[in-house]
């Protein structure tokens, strides 16, 4: 991004030449009267790169005067690394105040510590500027070995509780899988009724006769119940093996059907067997409907007769053909497939229901878009919920928290302003992206006493927007105060930003922050997609973190 500082106004060279003479005489007179009140000194005029200079201001003032010393990064191009407590001593009716600062510089060269303003009571005093030489550290390569630059060290991210969430999710999935296995896929133990139902008809009939013997019908002379069970056993066996309507037919209809099957040579059952079955069925009808009461011994004989006739019917049935056996096997396999298919359908339906219920539940609690973006993924959401970085950029520093480290912009990007300012710039993203953050610090080539119009400086950034084909720029202005009470200008609003590789435009928001101190201009530019709710949260968090200096 290019920033235009042509709107920053200052005195012409001719006016400066005349004004400098007057100002020199003025400051000479001031220093003459204030010499006895304000003194400055440094412990050494020459240091090596990174070493500390102790800058000392000594003030003599009345005990009733309020003395205000410089605060913040007012010693640029040197950087203040420590501000010491004021040392106060009393001399008669006056105070001697000594304030010390620790200064340093990490580039070699000749530097000037600018004049500092001290307020004593209601008057302002200015110290003299001081020269400082910062020298390189000489390395004797014959004694000190030279080594390659060390490779980047991979920094591990801070630990989080993601494993707890993953453990809970795995536990829930394991519980659901166990419940599905237990109630759907597990081969359940058969009940007694189910085991009996799986037996062949002949064995089932024989077992039913044994269970009839274990009842107490005959002991209690309940012949109606006894004959009902006895005739049901023979009828069911005939229904399954001989005539598929034996259970619903009357006695005469069933006997008639058996005779027809015998006459048609479909069953080799004797007339006597048919007559025995008919006799017992009619006796049972009399017991059930005419309330007849035969002797208990006769009932036992009828039971044995039914047992014998079941054997005779089995022997009278023809052997099943291979085709019938194959059809029976296919029937069993088809039933097994139907059962398996039913289990799969139930499992899929239950799984879809649980997934849908979970999605709806989380959507009600957190919102549909949040759940959708969590599942599908969203770059802005990942930025917002990722590991943020709190860092300082430029000299004097701007402290700001961002979702990613801002990268330094190379000199080619700011060549256009190199003639009027020495600028360092850091950025994340681009103007055409959904999130763009730019932090810049410029040291202007103007006298320290020249004021910087922040409105004109911000207008340069707005012109940069227009040069990048940004349209419909809505501008609002207000004062901006950081959490540590640094004041600046905030320009914000909306605009239509171009979309990459297309001729369309997208709605976006922007915020421009500008701060100034002497010949230093600090700017922060935030641009984001207006339809991205996560970008709104990102920029709000970034704005709330802006500070120009750390609290002491």
pLDDT tens digits, one per residue of 420-436? 568 888 999 887 778 89
CATH of domain 192-316: 1.20.120
pLDDT at residue 55, as a whole number: 92
pLDDT at residue 136, as a whole number: 82
396 prior amide bond cis, ω within 30: yes
Nearest to 286 by CA among 208, 228, 212: 228
For residue 244, list its beta bridge partners.
Answer: none
Second-level CATH architecture of 38-135? Sandwich (2.60)
Q: In CATH terms, is domain 386-548 a member of 3.40.1000.10?
A: yes
pLDDT at residue 139, as a whole number: 61
pLDDT at residue 353, as a whole number: 86
Q: Using DSSP, state whether 259 is helix, strand or coil.
A: helix
- Which residues of the chain carry a pLDDT beneath 70? 1-36, 138-150, 152-162, 190, 320, 324-325, 366, 368-378, 410-421, 448-449, 549-552
Q: Using DSSP, state whether 277 is helix, strand or coil.
A: helix
pLDDT at residue 22, as a whole number: 33
Residue bearing tokens 């302002």? 124
Are the C-beta atoms of 76 and 395 separated by less than 8 Å?
Answer: yes
Start-to-end CA distance of the chain, whole Å, equals 34
CA-CA distance, 7 to 112, in Å (whole number)? 27
Residue bearing tokens 């940069």? 464
Q: Supply the DSSP string of 463-519, one letter for each residue.
A: HHHHHTT-BS---EEEEEE-TT--EEEEEEEEEEEEPTTSS-EEEEEEEEEEEEETT
What is the DSSP-derived secondary structure letter of residue 411? G
CA 395 to chain centroid? 35
Q: Supply the DSSP string of 334-388, one letter for each residue.
A: HHHHHHHHHHHHHHHHHHHHHHHHHHHHHHHHH-HHHHHHHHH--HHHHHHHS--
pLDDT at residue 465, as a whole number: 85
pLDDT at residue 281, as a whole number: 92
Instruction: Count the Cβ atoms, other than its own, within 10 Å of residue 274.
Output: 20
Q: Where are the domains of the chain?
A: 38-135, 192-316, 319-377, 386-548
Nearest to 480 by CA among 436, 511, 438: 511
What is the DSSP-derived secondary structure letter of residue 319? P
CA-CA distance, 171 to 230, in Å (whole number)? 55
pLDDT at residue 152, as a whole number: 64
């Amino acid at each position: 991004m290019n920033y235009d500082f042509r709107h920053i106004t200052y005195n012409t060279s001719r006016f400066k030449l005349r004004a400098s003479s007057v100002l020199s005489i003025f400051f000479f007179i001031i220093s003459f009267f204030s010499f006895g009140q304000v003194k400055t000194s440094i412990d050494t005029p020459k240091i090596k790169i990174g070493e500390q200079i102790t800058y000392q201001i000594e003030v003599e003032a009345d005990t009733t005067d309020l003395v205000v010393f410089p605060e913040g990064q007012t010693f640029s191009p040197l950087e203040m690394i420590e501000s010491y407590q004021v040392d106060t001593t009393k001399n008669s009716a006056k105070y001697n105040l000594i304030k010390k600062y620790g200064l340093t510089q990490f580039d070699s060269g000749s530097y000037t510590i600018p004049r500092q303003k001290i307020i004593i009571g209601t008057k302002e005093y200015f110290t003299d500027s001081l020269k400082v030489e910062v020298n390189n550290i000489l390395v004797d390569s014959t004694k000190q070995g030279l080594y390659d630059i060390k490779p980047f060290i991979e920094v591990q991210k801070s630990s989080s509780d993601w494993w707890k969430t993953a453990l809970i999710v795995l536990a829930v999935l394991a519980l659901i899988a166990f419940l599905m296995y237990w109630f759907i896929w597990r081969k359940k133990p058969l009940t007694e009724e189910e085991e009996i139902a799986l037996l062949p008809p002949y064995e089932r009939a024989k077992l039913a006769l044994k269970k009839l013997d274990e009842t107490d019908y005959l002991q209690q002379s309940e012949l109606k119940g006894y004959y009902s069970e006895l005739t049901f056993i023979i009828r069911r066996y005939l229904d399954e093996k001989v005539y598929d309507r034996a259970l619903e037919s009357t006695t005469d209809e069933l006997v008639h059907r058996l005779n027809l099957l015998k006459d048609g040579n479909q069953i080799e059952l004797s007339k006597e067997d048919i007559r025995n079955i008919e006799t017992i069925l009619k006796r049972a009808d009399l017991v059930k409907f005419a309330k007849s009461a035969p002797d208990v011994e006769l009932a036992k004989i009828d039971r044995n007769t039914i047992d014998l006739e079941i054997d005779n019917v089995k022997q009278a049935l023809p052997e099943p053909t291979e085709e019938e056996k194959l059809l029976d096997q296919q029937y069993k396999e088809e039933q097994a497939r139907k059962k398996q298919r039913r289990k799969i359908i139930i499992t899929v339906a239950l799984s879809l229901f649980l997934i849908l219920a979970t999605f709806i539940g989380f959507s009600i609690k957190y919102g549909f878009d949040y759940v959708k973006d969590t599942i599908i993924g969203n770059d802005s959401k990942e930025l917002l919920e990722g590991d943020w970085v709190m860092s300082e950029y430029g000299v004097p520093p701007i402290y700001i928290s961002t979702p990613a480290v801002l990268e330094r912009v190379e000199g080619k990007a700011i060549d256009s302003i190199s003639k009027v300012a020495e600028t360092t710039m850091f950025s994340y993203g681009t103007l055409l992206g959904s999130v763009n953050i730019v932090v810049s610090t410029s040291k202007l080539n103007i006298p320290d006493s020249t004021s910087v119009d922040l409105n004109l400086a911000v207008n340069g950034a707005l012109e940069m927007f227009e040069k990048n084909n940004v349209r419909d720029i809505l501008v609002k202005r207000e004062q901006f105060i950081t959490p540590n009470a640094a004041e600046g200008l905030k320009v914000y609003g909306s605009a239509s930003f171009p979309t990459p590789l297309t001729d369309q435009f997208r709605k976006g928001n922007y915020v421009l922050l500008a701060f100034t101190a002497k010949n230093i201009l600090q700017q922060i530019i935030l641009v984001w997609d207006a339809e991205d709710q996560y970008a709104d949260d990102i920029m709000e968090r970034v704005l709330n973190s802006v500070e120009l200096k750390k609290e002491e």
